[in-house]
Structure 1
Amino acid sequence: MMIVRLVFILLLMLGGSKTAMPHALDPGYLSISQINDETWEVFWRKPDVQGAPMSIDAQLPETCTPRFGPAPSSDGSAWIASWVAICSRGLEGQTLQIKGLEQQNTDVLIRYQPKDTAASTKRLSSSSTQLVLPTAPSAMSVFRTYGLLGFDHILEGLDHLLFVMALVLLIPDKWRLVGTITAFTIAHSITLALASLGHISIPGPPVEAIIALSVVFLAVELLKRKDDQSRLSERAPWVIAFAFGLLHGLGFAGALQEIGLPDTDVVLALLAFNLGVEAGQLMFVAVILVTGFFFQNIIVESVPKQLAFQQRLTTLSAYAIGGVATYWLAERLAGF
Structure 2
Amino acid sequence: MLVAALMPMRGSAHALDPGFLELGALGQDRWRVTWRVPDLNGKPMPILAELPEGCAGEAPALQFDGRAWSSVWIATCAKGLQGGAIRIRDLERTRTEALVRYELQPGETRVRRLTPGETGFAIPADAGVPGILQSYVSLGVSHILQGIDHLLFVFALLLLVRDRARLFWAITAFTLAHSLTLAAAALGWLSVAPPPVEAVIALSIVFLAYELALPPRRRDPLAERWPWLVSFAFGLIHGLGFAGALREIGLPEGDIPLALFAFNLGVELGQILFIGLVVLVAMALTRLYPGIRRLARQMTRAASYAIGSLAAFWVIQRLAGF
Do they superpose with TM above 0.5?
A: yes
Deviation, 1:135, is 2.0
Residue 7 of structure 1 corresponds to none
Residue 297 of structure 2 corresponds to 311
Q: Distance in 1 between matches of 2:212 and 2:106?
A: 57
Residue 115 of structure 2 corresponds to 125
Deviation, 1:150, is 0.7
CA contact (8 A) 1:19 1:328 kept: no
Deviation, 1:321, is 0.7
Residue 253 of structure 2 corresponds to 263
Residue 159 of structure 2 corresponds to 169
Residue 236 of structure 1 corresponds to 226
Of 310-319 and 220-229, deviating more is 220-229
Question: Aligned partner of 1:192: which letter?
Answer: L
Deviation, 1:51, is 5.1
Which runs of 5 or more structure 2 residues have no equivalent in the other structure?
A: none
Of 195-204 and 122-131, deviating more is 122-131
- 1:150-201 alpha-carbon deviations (Å, 9 max, x no partner): 1011111111111000001101111111110000000011111111111111
CA contact (8 A) 2:20 2:37 kept: yes
Residue 25 of structure 1 corresponds to 16
Which residue of the other structure, out of 89, 94, 98, is the alignment partner of 2:88? Answer: 98
CA contact (8 A) 1:37 1:90 kept: no
Deviation, 1:31, is 2.0
Q: Distance in 1 between matches of 2:104 and 2:235?
A: 37
Residue 49 of structure 2 corresponds to 58
Shift of the 113–61 alpha-carbon distance from structure 1 to 2, 3 Å rule, reads same
- 1:210-250 alpha-carbon deviations (Å, 9 max, x no partner): 11110001111011233476632111111110011111011
CA contact (8 A) 1:29 1:259 kept: no
Residue 136 of structure 1 corresponds to 126
Deviation, 1:109, is 2.3
Residue 6 of structure 1 corresponds to none
Q: Distance in 2 between matches of 1:40 and 1:228?
A: 61
Question: Aligned partner of 1:23: which letter?
Answer: H
- 1:321-336 alignment, distance < 5 Å: 321-336=307-322
Question: Aligned partner of 1:326: which letter?
Answer: A
Shift of the 228–59 alpha-carbon distance from structure 1 to 2, 3 Å rule, reads closer
Residue 223 of structure 1 corresponds to 213
Deviation, 1:117, is 8.4
Which runs of 5 or more structure 1 residues have no equivalent in the other structure?
A: 1-9
Shift of the 230–249 alpha-carbon distance from structure 1 to 2, 3 Å rule, reads closer
Q: What is the SS of the residue equivalent to 1:22? A: coil
What is the root-mean-square deviation of aligned Cα atoms in Å?
Answer: 2.1
CA contact (8 A) 1:118 1:136 kept: no
Question: Aligned partner of 2:186: which letter?
Answer: S
- 1:22-48 alpha-carbon deviations (Å, 9 max, x no partner): 111233332223323332221223334
Q: Percent identity between the aligned chains?
A: 45
Question: Aligned partner of 2:25: which letter?
Answer: Q
Question: Aligned partner of 1:145: which letter?
Answer: S
Which residue of the other structure, out of 182, 201, 207, is the alignment partner of 1:192? Answer: 182
Which residue of the other structure, out of 152, 155, 167, is the alignment partner of 2:142? Answer: 152
Q: Distance in 2 between matches of 1:45 and 1:291?
A: 38
State the aligned residue count.
322
Question: Aligned partner of 2:204: which letter?
Answer: S
Of 68-77 and 238-247, deviating more is 68-77
Q: Distance in 2 between matches of 1:74 and 1:47?
A: 10
Shift of the 203–119 alpha-carbon distance from structure 1 to 2, 3 Å rule, reads closer
Of 259-268 and 324-333, deviating more is 259-268
Shift of the 201–162 alpha-carbon distance from structure 1 to 2, 3 Å rule, reads same
Question: Aligned partner of 1:47: which letter?
Answer: P
